[in-house]
Amino acid sequence: MPELPEVETIKKELLENIKGKKITDVKIITPKVINYSPRKFVKIIKGTVVKNIQRRAKLLIINFTNSYNLLVHLKLTGQFLYQGKISSATHIIFIFQDGGKLLYNDQRKFGYIKLLTDSELANLLAKADFGPEPLERNFTLDAFKETLTRKKKSKIKPLLMNQKFIAGIGNVYAQEICFYAKVLPMKEVSSLNQKEIRNIYKGIKEILPRAIEYKGSSVDTYLDIYGNKGKFIPFLKVYGREGKQCLRCKKAKIKKITLAGRGTCFCPNCQR
């Protein structure tokens, strides 16, 4: 599933390509992925202009000038492709006044697109109760420490993935952050010392921006809006490296366990 770096990449590319553009038509191929009838959906969007594109946690939000918004969750296989080729996975086509086309693809149809008014969007996000955005300035080390004090019995890696604790981090980057901090992913928050907490925080602040710089990690079907894979996979230290030599200590082999229902890789020598 696309995580913060992947969704942030898509957001930035959409801003570059569709912000300020007028939608002249929308073709709904698969009605089940939207929350209105195709006729009403098209009526609301047709003729409006893209005002802004935002990200909250792993969600994309496309704001329109008519006070409606598209809330998009890409889930496992969702993709936005700009000027891409229509395929059997294409479910919606947005057509712009300048001739540009934005395709919404989703091979497994787990994702969704909700058309919401400004107030409906605000209510939905409030109910989701997302945690702080880790790349914002107010996500400081002190703020991170304060939130940890309320989760002392939690295991650190599942906690990093908890969207109500921190927004946007998923299975891939939670593993990488734990490795960076030299902390076992199953370690309880109550047993973390100050250095480990500081290193976890530092890992969040260093790994996520670097992954964005390389346009994310294509560990599954993720592509940016131009159809390109993310280039961060060569920089992953533990994810997907089960049985391979640790890149840091060169002694142990990466071990994989199931933690909170998710595959989790770590170095049994480096991480304590």
Q: Give the residue numbers marked as catalytic.
A: 2-3, 58, 262
**CB-neighbour burial class of residue 45 (10 A; exposed 0-12, middle 13-18, buried 19+):** buried
Stretch (H or E) spanning 69: strand 68-73
DSSP H/E element including 263: strand 262-266
Closest among 86, 91, 72 to 32, alpha carbons compared = 91
**CA distances from residue 10 to 3, 125, 129, 216 in whole angstroms, order as listed:** 11, 20, 23, 10
φ, ψ of residue 70 in degrees (nearest 5): -100, 120
- d(CA 112, CA 191) in angstroms, rounded, equals 39
CB 179 within 8 A of CB 266: yes
